[in-house]
Amino acid sequence: MAPVLKKYKAAAVNAEPGWFDLQESVRRTIHWIDEAGKAGCKFIAFPELWIPGYPYWAWKVNYQESLPLLKRYRENSLPSDSDEMRQIRNAARANKIYVSLGYSEVDLASLYTTQVMISPSGDILNHRRKIRATHVERLVFGDGTGDTTESVIQTDIGRVGHLNCWENMNPFMKAYAASLGEQVHVAAWPLYPGKETLKYPDPFTNVAEANCDLVTPAYAIETGTFTLAPWQTITAEGIKLNTPPGKELEDPHIYNGHGRIFGPDGQNLVPHPDKDFEGLLFVDVSIYRNRIQANS
């Protein structure tokens, strides 16, 4: 293992996925990897289920109504051993960058909420599945296995880890990651509506602000990590693609503007993105700063 790089630039994706389209999803993934590479980044983090987008439609329908969209979703999910994944790995190698990628993994008869960590040489260093799908997600995804707790790996940019969605508020998974000496964390989030949509008895944890502005900085403080929170966004066209027949179209802005990056002390390090912002959030990571926080 090469000496750990003490300071470097990293990026969190705040952008729209290629809904229900595997090839478009791969194209967008490679585009953002290339953009991060051009900007001099050593690490880029993608949201939960970036490929082929988060199935938020599952929260709006019953099981029978979900079947047409579920069929398309499965057909455009990503096998881990595939030409599409090799294209993404090649992009990581071409840009000499670490990539944390979230995707819907199709494996035999099931789909999984999966994350991989790809090295600058294009190798997959870590493959994990969300340990338990959330609420209605269980109509779409299977559960992870015991090894899914292994979320942190040693790299030459520090001890880097990643978790999906509610896993970032799971006390055991958070404590275990901290026990492994995690220094840089990806809190990968999907597509969430804003707090203006909250209606009783839906809990506050089901809106974006709870997760981007409470859960994520709490993770950073409690573990002493640089915490990148990539989020998906959506346009009016994306809303149309994700709205089942007979359901009302929503304003896409209620879902956008939630990407965040926090320092080891919980300080917000980047301006909150505008509702129509699509791009990368950048941060300068300093591993030395982690040590100060961890020892305080």
Q: Which residues are catalytic?
A: 48
Q: Check if the beta carbon of residue 164 is closer than 8 Å to that of residue 48.
A: yes
- Pairwise CA distance, residues 82 & 118, whole Å: 15
Residues 6+ apart with CB under 8 A from 88: 26, 29, 30, 33, 99, 101, 118
Q: Check if the beta carbon of residue 232 is closer than 8 Å to that of residue 16.
A: yes
Can you tell me whether residue 178 is helix, strand or coil?
helix
Angle at 94 between CA 121 and CA 269, to 5 degrees: 85
Angle at 105 between CA 103 and CA 276, to 5 degrees: 20
- Pairwise CA distance, residues 207 & 91, whole Å: 33
Find the distance separating the first CA and the last CA of the chain, reported in whole Å. 28
- Pairwise CA distance, residues 29 & 86, whole Å: 12
Q: What is the DSSP letter of 232?
A: E
Angle at 156 between CA 261 and CA 1, to 5 degrees: 160
Which residue, among 230, 219, 228, 229, has the nearest Cα to 266 in the 3D structure? 219
- Pairwise CA distance, residues 6 & 70, whole Å: 44
